[in-house]
């Protein structure tokens, strides 16, 4: 069975702006790039405030991108459920990400009644090499 989105990228973006305006604190760095069957894509424009010493994008910033990308793909496929929450997360840092735009591509591996498992690949814009790989499980409330 192919998963079909029930929300557009614009609808998910409006939901995030309304329900989670704190993600734009200090300026808009995260944006929803698109949704497709089983897929959600986020862009993260990493600036100076997202860097750690040595000029690389910090781990917490990469984790935020992964978590938001997972949330976007889930919302796009189940609808605007604000109380969907992360229950487990594993992140592997693979390469040093340079400042600039990063793309988080989230794919639903399993969408159940109560749990959703998502895989997120993060890469620098224009590169095919992953800088981080994440798996996350979300708990979703009764719908």
pLDDT for the residue 47? 86
38-74 pLDDT, tens digit per residue, is: 999 999 999 888 888 888 999 999 999 999 999 999 9
Of residues 103, 109, 123, 88, the one with CA closest to residue 32: 103
Note whether 100 and 125 are within 8 A (CB): yes
Domains of the chain: 9-139 (3.10.129.10)
81-120 pLDDT, tens digit per residue, is: 888 999 999 999 999 987 889 999 999 999 999 999 999 9
């Amino acid at each position: 069975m192919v998963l079909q989105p029930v929300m557009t990228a614009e609808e998910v973006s409006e939901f995030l702006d309304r329900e989670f305006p704190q993600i734009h604190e200090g300026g808009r760095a995260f944006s929803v790039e698109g949704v497709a069957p089983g897929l959600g894509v986020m862009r993260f424009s990493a600036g100076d405030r997202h860097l750690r010493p040595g000029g690389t994008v910090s781990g917490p910033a990469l984790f935020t991108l992964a978590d938001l990308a997972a949330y976007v793909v889930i919302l796009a496929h189940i609808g605007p459920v604000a109380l969907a929450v992360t229950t487990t997360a594993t992140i592997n840092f693979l390469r040093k990400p340079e400042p600039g735009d990063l793309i988080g591509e989230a794919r639903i591996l399993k969408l159940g009644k109560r749990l959703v498992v998502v895989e997120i690949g993060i890469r620098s814009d224009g590169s095919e090499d992953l800088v981080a790989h994440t798996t996350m499980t979300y708990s979703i409330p009764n719908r």
